[in-house]
């Protein structure tokens, strides 16, 4: 879909000029702009207030050196990032990605998406994202700790419980958050909820570990229900085998589906009997090994090299939970050809624009990332509430709140799509609903 609104075309031109060489960021902005065309026509007051011109420019971008010493005594240098994108509706909030592919364009695309996602959660959180090109693979615990401490030695001066609250993302889990929290506390001499995804003994929330994957399935089940379907009895393919993929597998299975495939960046496993999640948790969470290990204990399962082949497995529902642009046009066409009727995104921006076009033109149910994977940050918001109140809720309490939030996110997407004459297009609905709340706040706060 090409933009037709003159004003949006102009702003996008400026974005492209200012951010040349950052294709993922431009892709994320373009997708949102395409959804906003009817809003811009109906709400000239927001254009007048310069909301969109301001929204595309991060409030602050921090880039810093992260020196650390490896196990051989050699100095290593990585680059650290924190993009504080938008604070109109709350403190900056978003994860930290540790992956060799990280550069400023990745962090900006993720931070931009986070603004709308956080808005949809109904909780008061602005958008931000951070990370580093550090590669955690093959590093010892000691190296991970020294990296995390060095990263925080600069980052601590820019964040705070009421200012900017980082969390996990690719390569950042409970271990990394623990090391970062320890260093923050030491440097500031204060114990606050400055990070989420913390360990349960020092302020972490029950159900945060499960939240993104569980939330993805709660959102998807709502979307299926609204269209006379459900997870029960369906075959599901899930990419990735990290935090999001593991807990999506667990919840989809609990809801009656059979998950038959998982992957990592090297390849994918197919188990026609349904994935044995206890084995996956042991390999990934305890031993930190590769997914191909699965077939050594599961002789009926098959491992295939190369991660994109996973989309050639016939399924009813696909849940991409690995990384950006992991489903291209060809993979989307394969899914359709094999009878897949729903794609719901656990990863951020896992589908290319051409893939999304294939879903929409073939009438698939499409749950866009910024709505479908918002359960993680929503539960981070619940962790912040518990930290501020200095109390902790039970797993059941947090899970019930998460379910309520995911239902309300689906409702917002559905209603916004209907209101703008785009019924069933939950991507447009998510972008519009997420945008409007932030836009009203930005307009009310004046030109800042």
Which of ligand 2IT, ligand NDP, none does residue 368 bind to, with CB < 5 to 8 Å depending on kind?
none
Site for ligand NDP in 125-164 (CB under 6 A): none
The mark string for 249-268 relative to ligand NDP (x by CB under 6 A, - otherwise) is ---------------xxx--
**Is residue 376 involved in binding ligand 2IT (CB under 6 A)?**
yes
258 given a catalytic annotation: no
Which of ligand 2IT, ligand NDP, none does residue 209 bind to, with CB < 5 to 8 Å depending on kind?
none
Site for ligand 2IT in 117-156 (CB under 6 A): 117
Rounded least distance, CB 376 to ligand 2IT, Å: 4
Give the separation between CA 374 and CA 383, rounded to whole angstroms: 14
Site size for ligand NDP (CB under 6 A):
24
**Is residue 171 involved in binding ligand NDP (CB under 6 A)?**
yes
Closest to 364 in 3D by CA, of 346, 345, 341, 335: 341
**Is residue 345 involved in binding ligand 2IT (CB under 6 A)?**
no
**Is residue 24 involved in binding ligand 2IT (CB under 6 A)?**
no
Rounded least distance, CB 186 to ligand NDP, Å: 25
156: left (phi over 0), alpha (psi -120 to 50) or beta: alpha
Site size for ligand 2IT (CB under 6 A):
11
Give the separation between CA 305 and CA 268, rounded to whole angstroms: 7
Q: Which stretch binds ligand 2IT (CB under 6 A): 180-188, 250-258, 374-382, 408-416?
A: 374-382
Rounded least distance, CB 178 to ligand 2IT, Å: 15
Rounded least distance, CB 224 to ligand NDP, Å: 20
Give CA separation, 383 vs 51, 211, 301, 404, 425, in Å. 30, 11, 38, 16, 31
Give CA separation, 171 vs 25, 106, 240, 248, 251, in Å. 20, 14, 12, 18, 22
Active-site residue set: 129
């Amino acid at each position: 879909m090409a933009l037709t609104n003159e004003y949006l075309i102009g702003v996008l031109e400026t974005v492209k000029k200012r951010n040349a060489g950052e294709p993922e960021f431009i892709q994320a902005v373009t997708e949102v702009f395409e959804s906003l065309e009817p809003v811009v026509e109906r709400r000239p007051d927001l254009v007048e207030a310069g909301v969109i011109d301001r929204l595309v420019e991060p409030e602050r971008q921090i880039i810093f050196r992260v020196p650390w010493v490896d196990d051989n005594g050699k100095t290593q240098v990585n680059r650290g990032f924190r993009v504080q994108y938008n604070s109109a509706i709350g403190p900056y909030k978003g994860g930290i990605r540790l992956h060799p592919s990280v550069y400023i364009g990745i962090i900006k695309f993720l931070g931009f998406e986070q603004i709308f996602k956080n808005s949809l959660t109904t909780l008061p959180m602005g958008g931000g994202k951070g990370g580093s090109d550090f590669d955690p693979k093959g590093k010892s615990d000691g190296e991970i700790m020294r990296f995390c401490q060095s990263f925080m030695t600069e980052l601590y001066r820019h964040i705070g419980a009421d200012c900017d609250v980082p969390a996990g993302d690719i390569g950042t889990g409970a271990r990394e958050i623990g090391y970062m929290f320890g260093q923050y506390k030491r440097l500031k001499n204060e114990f606050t909820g400055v990070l989420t995804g913390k360990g349960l003994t020092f302020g972490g929330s029950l159900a945060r570990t499960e939240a993104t994957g569980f939330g993805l399935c709660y959102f998807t089940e709502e979307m299926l229900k609204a269209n006379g379907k459900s997870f029960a009895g369906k075959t599901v393919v899930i990419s990735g085998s990290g935090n999001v993929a593991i807990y999506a597998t667990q919840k989809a299975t609990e809801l009656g589906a059979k998950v038959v495939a998982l992957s990592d960046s090297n390849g994918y496993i197919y188990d026609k009997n349904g994935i044995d999640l206890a084995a996956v948790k042991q390999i990934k969470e305890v031993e930190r090994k590769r997914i191909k290990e699965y077939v050594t204990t599961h002789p009926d399962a098959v491992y295939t090299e190369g991660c994109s082949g996973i989309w050639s497995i016939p399924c009813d529902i696909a849940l991409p939970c690995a990384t950006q642009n992991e489903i291209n046009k060809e993979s989307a066409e394969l899914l359709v050809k094999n009878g897949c009727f729903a794609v719901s995104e656990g990863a951020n921006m896992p589908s290319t624009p051409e893939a999304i076009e294939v879903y929409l033109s073939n009438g698939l149910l499409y749950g866009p990332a910024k709505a479908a994977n918002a359960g993680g940050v929503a539960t981070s918001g619940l962790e912040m509430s518990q930290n501020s109140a200095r109390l902790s809720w039970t797993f059941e309490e947090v899970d019930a709140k998460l379910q309520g939030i995911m239902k309300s996110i689906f409702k917002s997407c559905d209603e916004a799509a209907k209101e703008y004459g785009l019924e069933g297009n939950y991507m447009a609905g998510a972008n519009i609903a997420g945008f409007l709340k932030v836009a009203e706040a930005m307009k009310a706060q004046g030109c800042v």
